[in-house]
Amino acid sequence: MRVGFVGLGAMGRPMAMHLLQAGHALSVWARRPEAAAALVEHGACRCGTPAELAAASEVVITIVTTSRDVEDLAFGAHGLAAGFERGGIHVDMSTIAPTTARALAARYAQLGIGWVDAPVSGGEQAARAATLAIMAGARAEDLERVRPLLLALGQTLVHVGEVGAGQVAKACNQMIMVAAIQAAAEAMHLANAHGVDLARVRTALMGGSAASRVMEIIGGRMVDRDFAAGIQARLHHKDFGLVLAEAARLGVPLPIAAQVAQQLDTLMSNGWGLDDTASLLRVLERVRVGAG
């Protein structure tokens, strides 16, 4: 398939490489040409604008940071929408607001262009191993057309529902994952105050009802005090901004998500945004309760 790709960051580069290796004709667009160098060496074409990329592609995949980034790519000057032929599909794998996904899909639909929101979970490691968990929101016929592309990138692909539903699932994923990181941090901090060995606590917990992917991976980083990213905490901070904005719009109470967001605010204000979200442990350690 003729596939375009935008967003050659730590996640996007290995994902684009998997598409090349699966035999697709890959075009890329990157603000900084050096980000595309390795892919071009392996046969990808570099385009001058997103519009040129869309004109060369049946499907364009984007994985960038913010809702605004995706809007600009799609409908900004020389954007994808200006280049797609009717029947083209924009697959956005970024983590953005469900409302933005729905709004972009509606604008594309007026041009006869499809939309799939397909955010992912699993981080850089899963991107490199092509074992991402992909949560898709789309019309069934659009998802079917791009399914082979997504299966080259991920281990699981769940069609959650209509356009936007992939982003809703991703919001749920982030709420649960970062709450689990915060809970692990609180537990580790309490165990530390008791003078109990954290590595053994973690081992004990992995056998029981508190076992989780987070305790395994991020809990291990807390035990080792390894705060190098991993997952840059600034991205989780961004995600919680989205979650709380949606919650406010919908009138939904999210008491611990709101509390986690505040802890992430404190993390950011300590300058740890480029470090792993395991740094939530360091946020707790900065607080002295009842010190006087």
What residues between 263 and 292 interact with a copy of itself by CB under 8 A? 263, 284, 287-291
Q: Return the DSSP state at 273.
A: T
Q: Which stretch binds a copy of itself (CB under 8 A): 52-60, 80-88, 144-152, 212-220?
A: 212-220
* Residue 82, burial from CB neighbour count under 10 angstroms (0-12, 13-18, 19+): middle
| Distance in Å, CB of 260 to a copy of itself, minimum | 7
Structure tokens belonging to residue 86: 């009717």
Structure tokens belonging to residue 197: 């060995």
Q: Within 96-155, which residues bind a copy of itself (CB under 8 A)?
A: 98, 120-123, 132-133, 135, 155
Site mask for a copy of itself (CB under 8 A), range 67-106, x = bound: -------------------------------x--------
Dist CA 29 CA 37 (whole Å) = 11
In total, the chain counts a number of residues equal to 292
| Distance in Å, CB of 223 to a copy of itself, minimum | 12
Site for a copy of itself (CB under 8 A): how many residues?
A: 76
3-class SS of residue 161: strand
Site mask for a copy of itself (CB under 8 A), range 156-195, x = bound: x-xxxx--xx--xx-xxxxxxx-xx-xxx-xxxxxx-xx-
Q: What residues contact 284, with CB distance under 8 A and at least 6 apart?
A: 185, 186, 189
233 is a contact residue toward a copy of itself (CB under 8 A): no
Q: Return the DSSP state at 92.
A: E
The catalytically annotated residue of 18, 24, 90, 170 is: 170
The backbone torsions φ and ψ at residue 243, rounded to the nearest 5 degrees and listed phi first, read -60, -45
In the annotation, is 170 catalytic?
yes
* Residues labelled as active-site residues: 170
